Amino acid sequence: MAAVTTLSIIAAIGSAVVILSGQQNAQPNGHGCMEIDVADEVSHPFYDRDYFARYFGELNYTVGIFGKHLNGGNPSFLPEGVDEMLINGGGSFLNPEFVVSTRNSLPPRSVTFDNCTATTGFPCYSTSIIGNASLAWIERHIAANNNMDNNAKPFFALISLKAPHIEDGPDFPKAIPAPWYENATVLESIAPRTPNYNCSVEDHHWLAQSQHPVTAKEAEEADKLYVSRVKSLMSVDDMVQDLVQVLEDQALLSNTYIIFTSDNGYKLGQFRMFGKAAAYEDDIRIPMMIRGPGIQSNVSSTLMGTHVDLIPTLLGMAGQSQIPATMDGRNLANCLIGEEDTHCEFSDSSVLVEYLSLGENMVRYNHTFDVYNHSFNALRFRQSHANESSVPDHWFYSFDSSGPNVMRDMKYVEYRNSQIDRNAMHSPLEIEVFDLERDPYEMSNLRDVIHPYLLGLLQEKLQRLLRCQGESCRQEHNSGVDEG
Ligand SMILES: *[C@@H]1O[C@H](CO)[C@@H](O)[C@H](O)[C@H]1NC(C)=O
Ligand SMILES: *[C@@H]1O[C@H](CO)[C@@H](O)[C@H](O)[C@H]1NC(C)=O
Ligand SMILES: *[C@@H]1O[C@H](CO)[C@@H](O)[C@H](O)[C@H]1NC(C)=O
Ligand SMILES: *[C@@H]1O[C@H](CO)[C@@H](O)[C@H](O)[C@H]1NC(C)=O
Ligand SMILES: *[C@@H]1O[C@H](CO)[C@@H](O)[C@H](O)[C@H]1NC(C)=O
Ligand SMILES: *[C@@H]1O[C@H](CO)[C@@H](O)[C@H](O)[C@H]1NC(C)=O
Ligand SMILES: *[C@@H]1O[C@H](CO)[C@@H](O)[C@H](O)[C@H]1NC(C)=O
Ligand SMILES: *[C@@H]1O[C@H](CO)[C@@H](O)[C@H](O)[C@H]1NC(C)=O
Ligand SMILES: *[C@@H]1O[C@H](CO)[C@@H](O)[C@H](O)[C@H]1NC(C)=O
């Protein structure tokens, strides 16, 4: 096998709305959680200026984009830097439709994949169509590049799947597994009963406070949904296995970064609610796994990052340390590659979590999970207190009988009505503060317990994160709350 000098990247994203612009606070356009200003025109600034592919194109990467892209405003053209695409807004699990195109040969057109019965005996299945298309593209790329010899162009494949999204309809919501896994058995039979499952929380945001207990019928429905989701992920496992096999067969596995991450989490009874859209860890924390050159195996990192850091970090892995001007995220490559995450220049870290309500009175299983005044801006941060012997008083609070506690791993949430105050110009309607080190399930709101001076620092830090751009965001992200 010829020596390989190129590093390729596969970013597989289960259940994704893919933005990958590296921007936070994307321009408002309508309402809902997909607050990004895009349109399907070639000349639109988003695809012209912010879309990730051109930056990899400039580094001589060949880019393919496959699967679930934006919910709406998907390009009807090949964005700059993209060689091949097969995308939709999620589509249906069975016999899905995609817009497909290949640079220089196949102009964009809509294709419905409904011809699988003859070969497989089953309808076409979304994950398999996306998996097979990306695999075929990678194999063609390897062949065209002379088995990735010294002068080969590396590739970047973005593979995003509908699974384990729900599909609505009669007897729904549920996810649809591949027809051949219809009767498969899985280990899971009920949704996780975390300590905050079916919990009444008197000191939380009004929506959490006002939930009725989860009934037996609701629990049964949510458990069915959970099992259908696990089954739908069996095809994602198959796809990952096939991808790894192809890379192994081509001796490219040691030269390729594979990143696996996901869309939001989803409550199935936590705080007596169902669905996404909350500021709680169940909704906002997602898996992020990576393998590849320089990445230690089987270690987990406490490093805090968000999707805005993805593209700057992947560019960093591809050797581009300069972050494009419109991007607010950080290049965390140095924190991930090597022995330990001691290469990071910062010990404190803060990230912004934003949500604009989907609408008035959004209900799942007879439980309201979203209303306009449930829009929020949140600050999730770690404050290391480098000198533990001189932690300022305002970081202490008393939470239990064990004596005073110091805050290190926290969340601060401000709720607003997005119809009246979408830009956070007024005082928040409600506030939540959690100590995630001692209270990982967010059972206790410390709003009235923490030092008023700390509350002021939190408010100021959140405002700075909301208003920052580019370099000033990175400074805010790489620091705690005391500085600034
Ligand atoms: C990309 O390829 C071109 C042509 O082979 C070469 O001139 C250029 O230096 C390459 N750019 C990078 C960033 O490697
Ligand atoms: C099924 O349809 C797709 C999309 O038109 C096409 O690419 C594929 O070759 C077809 N497969 C078979 C077996 O005819
Ligand atoms: C390709 O499609 C087949 C049949 O639909 C499926 O069994 C297989 O898992 C797919 N491959 C990938 C990589 O998704
Ligand atoms: C699953 O079970 C049902 C009921 O026994 C049967 O009709 C169906 O063919 C089975 N599906 C598969 C893929 O074996
Ligand atoms: C939820 O809690 C209530 C009591 O608050 C209880 O009556 C109910 O059975 C619980 N539901 C489930 C599904 O455990
Ligand atoms: C990974 O680490 C965990 C805990 O540190 C350990 O229990 C497990 O055996 C390790 N797995 C492998 C494959 O090394
Ligand atoms: C929905 O919840 C309300 C209480 O908030 C209850 O009165 C009503 O019976 C429930 N409806 C169903 C269909 O469970
Ligand atoms: C939020 O809106 C709901 C419904 O519109 C209302 O019942 C509730 O009192 C409001 N809560 C706050 C804190 O504004
Ligand atoms: C840590 O704080 C203590 C108490 O204020 C002080 O005496 C000590 O010099 C500090 N250490 C460092 C390394 O700053």
For 267-282, the pLDDT digits (tens) are 999 999 999 999 999 9
Report, as an integer, the average pLDDT of 338-357. Answer: 80
**Do 29 and 126 share a domain, yes or no?**
yes
Shared domain for 24 and 57, answered yes or no, is yes
Domain count, the chain: 2
What is the structure's pLDDT at 1? 25
Predicted pLDDT of residue 28:
44
Average pLDDT over residues 88-107: 95
Whether 357 and 333 share a structural domain: no
Query: Is the pLDDT reported for residue 237 higher than 70?
Result: yes
The answer to whether position 42 is within a domain reads: yes
Ligand in nearest proximity to the CA of 212? 7
Residue nearest to atom 10 of ligand 7 (CA): 366
In 10 A of CB 369, how many CB atoms? 24
Is the pLDDT at 35 greater than 50? The verdict is: yes
Q: Check residue 74 and give its pLDDT.
A: 87
Kindly state whether residues 395 and 424 are assigned to the same domain: yes
**Gap between the Cα atoms of 387 and 62, Å rounded:** 47
Residue where a domain stops, chosen among 340, 372, 395: 340
- Indicate if 327 and 184 belong to the same structural domain: yes
Instruction: Give percent of the chain with pLDDT exceeding 70.
Output: 89
* 323 and 471 fall within a common domain: no
Give dist(CA 428, CA 414) in Å, integer: 6
**Domain boundary, last residue among 340, 368, 391:** 340
What is the per-residue pLDDT across 424-453, written as a single tens digit (0 to 9) for each? 999 999 999 999 999 999 999 999 999 999
Task: Looking at the structure, tell me whether residues 284 and 154 fall in a common domain.
Answer: yes
Between the alpha carbon of residue 327 and those of residues 19, 99, 307, 473, the distances in Å are: 12, 27, 11, 9
| DSSP string covering 97-114 | EEEEEETTTEEEEEEE--
Asked whether residue 101 is domain-assigned, the answer is yes
Phi/psi at 18 (5° precision): -100, 120
CA dist., res. 203 & res. 187, Å (int): 36
Any ligand 1 atom below 6 A from CB of 322: no
167 and 308 both lie in a single domain: yes
User: Is 356 found in the same domain as 237?
Assistant: no
* Alpha carbon nearest to ligand 8 atom 1, residue: 373
Residue 193 lies in a domain: yes
How far does residue 152's CA lie from ligand 2's centre (Å)?
30
Domain assignment present for residue 9? The answer is no
Task: Give backbone dihedrals phi and psi of 397, rounded to 5 degrees, phi first.
Answer: -150, 165
Q: Could you give the 3-state DSSP secondary structure of residue 39? A: coil
How far apart CA 398 and CA 117 sit, in angstroms, is: 64
Q: What is the pLDDT of residue 386?
A: 85
Domain for residue 258, yes or no? yes
Q: Is residue 10 part of a domain?
A: no
* Terminal Cα-to-Cα distance of the chain (whole angstroms): 53
The helix or strand, by DSSP H or E, that contains position 84, with its residue range, turns out to be strand 82-88
> Which of 209, 371, 430 most suits a substitution to test ligand 8, by most atoms within 8 Å of the C-beta?
371
Residue 368 one-letter amino acid: T
Which ranges of 205-348 would DSSP assign to H, the alpha helix?
206-209, 216-232, 234-249, 281-284, 310-317, 333-336
Q: How far is the CA of 366 from the centre of ligand 7 (A)?
A: 6
Task: Judge if 395 and 431 occupy the same domain.
Answer: yes
413 in the same domain as 313: no
Q: Which residue, among 345, 337, 298, has the nearest Cα to 319 in the 3D structure?
A: 337
Q: Per-residue pLDDT averaged across 208-213, rounded?
A: 98
Determine the distance separating the centroid of ligand 7 and the alpha carbon of 215, expressed in angstroms.
9
Asked if the model's pLDDT at residue 166 lies above 80, the reply is: yes
Q: Would you say 274 and 166 are in contact if contact means Cβ atoms under 8 Å apart?
A: no
Percentage with pLDDT > 90 across the chain: 70
Average pLDDT of the segment spanning 371-388: 93
Task: Quote the domain boundaries for residue 431.
Answer: 349-477
Instruction: Report how far ligand 9's centroid is from the alpha carbon of 384 (Å).
Output: 15
Which ligand has the nearest atom to the CA of 98? 2
Tell me if 220 CB under 6 Å of ligand 5: no
How many whole angstroms from 132 Cα to the centroid of ligand 3? 6
Whether 15 shows a pLDDT value over 50: the answer reads no
CATH number for the domain that contains residue 228: 3.40.720.10
Both 165 and 199 in one domain: the answer is: yes
Ligand 2 atom nearest to CA at 119: 13
Supply the angle between the helices 234-249 and 126-144 in degrees, to the nearest 10. Answer: 10
What tokens appear for 32 in the block?
């809902």
